Structure 1
Amino acid sequence: MTILTHKLPSSYLNKLITETKEVLRTVIDPTNQSFSIRNYSDSIESISNVLQELGRNQLIAMINEMDIKFRNSPNRLISFYVKDNRERTIITPFGVVTYLRTIYQCRTTKKCFTYVDRKLGLPRYDKYDPCIKAMIAETHATQNSMLKTGELVGKRIFSLFSTKKERNNFNISRQTVHNVLKNITLIKPSYSEAEHTPTDIYIMADEKYVHLQGEPSQIRENGLTVNVMVKQAVIYDKRVTDGRRSSLKNRIVYSSIDGSFWTNVLDIIAQRYDFDKINNIHISGDGAKWISTSTSTIPKSTFYLDKFHYKQALRQMLLDADDRHVAESYINNNSKIEFKNITTCLLHLEHNKDRIEYAKTKLEYITNNWNAIQRSLHPDYHGCGMEGQISHNLAAPFTSRPKAYARENLRRYLTIADGTRNGVDLLNLYLDTFDLPRSNKHIEIKKEEYDFSMFEQNNRSDKSSTSNWLKGFTSQI
């Protein structure tokens, strides 16, 4: 099995290759009567170890050759002195890599620089290379758990696949994950015009309250929990049903904790579609005032009350199934006066005053949204699945476990999560914008329907706050 060039001598790598050959020879041998999944897993683990070590050797060889060629180049001899040689250790997707690089000093300015670090775009002092940081950003966008993100990326650093307990020694600390996320360039999406503008556009909207931390001290002193309303809209132009499953075509998710929510939604629609060709914009939701009044901002729009919410209000108002059946028949026949009369009579039969007052609020909810309910009963209305969107997009990542967010961090996480759901390749986005503060350039992500302009980010290093990486390093020697 010849997989190495003569340029990469490594006793440890040769040892791994010998061990891998022995494992594969044992698995292949027909006289071996062991039939087990361990035959496969041991083979994968052995090959993974070779690939990891090969990657480290190849990277070190490339850096050494790069440094030697620059050191011997005519331009270097004219412009720079050789000041020192220093080792640097960084953590890469292949594991821990230590290489020797030359420190140069300018003959005229006397300033020092490291050629290979500058050539590769590696910031000073960072323990984790930009590829690891990009992996952290991409993983957290779907996990939203710094601890889980650190575990997943850490195991990948140790090996492509490993059953050794030492794989946990590379777990990345929460603080390091937080520092990486804090320095991701914020995304301001700009949506290119769709090839086809349909006559009807659909918007579903709902909200979720998320706990905040770090709010003004007088609030904390009073022991009050601070929540912020996260508003979310899902914009799409077609619903496709395949059996019992439905999918939304050309879906765009927009979340915000700031004002001008519907103005921003309108901007997205205007960028995406030819507004003159749109005849109707259907807005669905639970009847909250901020949703029902969206029609004053969104032209050509009509509000529909989600069937789930009015039926839920009906169940909470009338506990008896037969009573609900009668009351719902008046809703279906658009008989508002008769509905109010019959439900008022039924409520008079209640003896619990608190129960009566609660039921009256539900009656008021239904009557106030009567027209929106009637529109939702039209056969062409295909319903509102926003409860599922909120559960998946906001509840699961942000409120399923007891946690609180700083307001600025929450804005950042919402932006990253929305971008990922809208098709942004966060791994490439992170790498493409890594040097943005030094170049003032605009990055265009080559995606079918999107391009992105970037805001400036803070440039900070992330010295590792844990010694786990060192334990992992020694375990591989």
Structure 2
Amino acid sequence: MEELIQHLWEKFLLVGERVLGALEGKITYPELEKQVKNALNSLGNDIMKMVIESQDEYLVEHREARPGWVIERRKEEKRVITVFGEMSYERTYFYNKGSQSYAHLADTYAGYRPHMRIEEPAKAILTEIAAEQSYQCSGKGAQEYGWGEKVSGQTVKNAVDKLKIPKWGEVGSSEDKRRVRYLYIEADEDHVARQDKKGRMAIPLIYVHEGAKEVCKGRRQLKEARYFSGPYKTIEDMWFDTLDYIENRYDLEYVERIYINGDGASWIRSGIEIIPKSVFILDQFHLSKYIMAAVGPYAKMQAAIWKHIGEGQLEGVLGVLREAEKAHPERRKAISRAKRYIENQWDGIEAQKRYKEELLGCSAEGHISHILSARLSSRPGAWSKAGAEQMAGLRAAKANGVNIQEMYLAQQPQVVKALELDTDKLQQARKKMSHNVAEMLHNMPILNGPQSPLTRALRALIDAA
């Protein structure tokens, strides 16, 4: 143990030497940053190696710490990727006569399972990276962190897949429920390429908020936003999770209305049957899209349609579209789709007019782009349904402010065994280290080179200590 601690102290001094070298102008700041990062990663690995090998040494020397276990083989190597990089250490293989089982007992103190190649904290980092970029690129993050060889994309995917996405209705419980007059729900979906090459699948997103606040000139931010997406069994489960969140978070007796804003898809409208006090509002973006597709080049017809919509005259709107159909038969399909859409969504159009003073508009398209499309559909690639839903849940969790690494680690088996090390050896190592510190500081190469104000100041500090 004394030799290991001596080795660690020498590495620590090496870091100090590099910092002082930078201050002397021997290397640039970016070079220093890279060298310090590598040195600290190496130091961290050596510390963890020292601890686990010291634990193994303690188990070998103290039979009472391993009742029923006898030594089978010594010094078996294990390599594992940690948050500091790839660590190689040696430990003892034990045999239990009673249970007729074998185990590397030191590994259990670190939470390492047989054949584990990457420890859980490192997987937690890779999971967080995977929320932003492909599994393959996330595996290369291991090299960026100084972990040595890259990790396979499949390994990263396996870590993401075993993550349990929380039900946000359960997370939102609060004794002091918020009181607001109006709540806003916006819903839309991303269309993601399928791995089976059968077109695209819809991945829904629902979010609840209290309105918007201005954070700077020309930029607004949703208040108390909560996002819902992920591996729900049915769309009804997703809406009920949304309802659970609202009931746990808000005093519904105080809420006057809950506006559900969307494009009128049946799955969005189904929320009205589940969310109390809810009113469906048709998203103006989608209404405009249908009108533009039908009579886009004809400004007078557009103006006439919007005039009838503003006056609440459905027949007037349909009359203009019938005239357009006769005048422009080449646009018959688009006009027919617009007629059908406006008729089916007229209640949402009327509600938009009726509650105009209380509404804020809809930002669903932007949120779909930012939360789902940025990872699922904006780049070439295809997904399985389970994989796309899992990633959608991970992205929603991140949008909800969840620390992905902490969420991942909280779901892993917890290490309950406290380290047992030889206290006498630790005390001896401490004493020897304190005696050697001054000598090692005096022998730092930078202090034995050309004199400068910095080296003179450092030597004075060391002598004073």
Q: Which residue of 2 aligns with 1:45?
A: 34
CA contact (8 A) 2:314 2:343 kept: yes
Q: In structure 2, which of residues 164, 172, 195 is the aligned counterpart of residue 192 of structure 1?
A: 172
Deviation at 1:186, TM superposition (A): 4.8
Q: Which residue of 2 aligns with 1:170?
A: 149
**Counterpart-to-counterpart distance in 1, 2:390 and 2:341:** 35
Q: In structure 2, which of residues 131, 134, 138 is the aligned counterpart of residue 141 of structure 1?
A: 131
Q: Which residue of 1 aligns with 2:218?
A: 244
Which amino acid letter does the alignment assign opposite residue 201 of structure 1?
L
SS in 2 for 1:184: coil
Is 1:203 matched up with 2:185? yes
* TM-score, normalised by the number of residues in structure 2: 0.78
Which amino acid letter does the alignment assign opposite residue 141 of structure 2?
L
CA contact (8 A) 1:134 1:427 kept: yes
CA contact (8 A) 1:134 1:430 kept: yes
**Counterpart-to-counterpart distance in 2, 1:346 and 1:372:** 24
**Counterpart-to-counterpart distance in 1, 2:73 and 2:43:** 28
SS in 1 for 2:360: coil
Which amino acid letter does the alignment assign opposite residue 21 of structure 1?
E
Higher Cα Rg, which structure: 2
Q: Which residue of 2 aligns with 1:370?
A: 346
Is 1:212 matched up with 2:186? no
**Counterpart-to-counterpart distance in 1, 2:301 and 2:66:** 94
Q: Which residue of 2 aligns with 1:397?
A: 375
Counterparts of residues 32-431 of structure 1 (less than 5 Å): 39-73=28-62, 75-76=64-65, 79-85=68-74, 86-143=76-133, 145-158=134-147, 170-189=149-168, 190-194=170-174, 195=176, 196-213=178-195, 225-242=198-215, 243-256=217-230, 258-259=233-234, 260=236, 261-318=238-295, 319-350=297-328, 353-377=329-353, 378-431=356-409
SS in 2 for 1:178: helix
**Counterpart-to-counterpart distance in 2, 1:369 and 1:401:** 33
Closer, same or farther: CA 265–111 of 1 in aligned 2, 3 Å: same
CA contact (8 A) 2:191 2:203 kept: yes
**Counterpart-to-counterpart distance in 2, 1:311 and 1:226:** 26
**Counterpart-to-counterpart distance in 2, 1:380 and 1:26:** 60
**Counterpart-to-counterpart distance in 2, 1:391 and 1:361:** 25
Closer, same or farther: CA 56–386 of 1 in aligned 2, 3 Å: same
Which amino acid letter does the alignment assign opposite residue 30 of structure 2?
S
Deviation at 1:170, TM superposition (A): 2.2
Deviation at 1:421, TM superposition (A): 2.0
Deviation at 1:288, TM superposition (A): 1.9
Q: Which residue of 2 aligns with 1:464?
A: none
CA contact (8 A) 1:56 1:94 kept: yes
Runs (4+) off by over 6 Å: none
Q: Which residue of 2 aligns with 1:473?
A: none
Closer, same or farther: CA 82–326 of 1 in aligned 2, 3 Å: same
Deviation at 1:15, TM superposition (A): 8.0
CA contact (8 A) 1:198 1:278 kept: yes
Deviation at 1:101, TM superposition (A): 0.9
CA contact (8 A) 1:280 1:300 kept: yes
Closer, same or farther: CA 226–357 of 1 in aligned 2, 3 Å: closer
Which amino acid letter does the alignment assign opposite residue 375 of structure 1?
A
Deviation at 1:293, TM superposition (A): 4.1
Contiguous gaps of at least 5 residues in structure 1: 33-37, 159-168, 215-223, 440-477
Q: Could you list the per-position Cα deviations for residues 37-93 of structure 1 after superposition, in whole angstroms to 9, with x for gaps in the alignment?
A: x71111112222221221122111111222222333351375332221111111212
**Counterpart-to-counterpart distance in 2, 1:130 and 1:297:** 39
CA contact (8 A) 1:20 1:43 kept: no
Q: Could you list the per-position Cα deviations for residues 332-357 of structure 1 after superposition, in whole angstroms to 9, with x for gaps in the alignment?
A: 2223333333443344322xx34123
**Counterpart-to-counterpart distance in 2, 1:208 and 1:25:** 53
**Counterpart-to-counterpart distance in 1, 2:210 and 2:110:** 44
Contiguous gaps of at least 5 residues in structure 2: 417-465
CA contact (8 A) 1:200 1:280 kept: yes
SS in 2 for 1:157: coil
**Counterpart-to-counterpart distance in 2, 1:77 and 1:205:** 58
Deviation at 1:22, TM superposition (A): 6.0
Q: Could you list the per-position Cα deviations for residues 115-135 of structure 1 after superposition, in whole angstroms to 9, with x for gaps in the alignment?
A: 211111111112211121111
Deviation at 1:14, TM superposition (A): 5.0
Q: Percent identity?
A: 23
**Counterpart-to-counterpart distance in 2, 1:293 and 1:108:** 60
Specify which structure has the higher proportion of helix. Answer: 2
Closer, same or farther: CA 361–403 of 1 in aligned 2, 3 Å: same
**Counterpart-to-counterpart distance in 2, 1:65 and 1:337:** 84
CA contact (8 A) 1:95 1:157 kept: yes
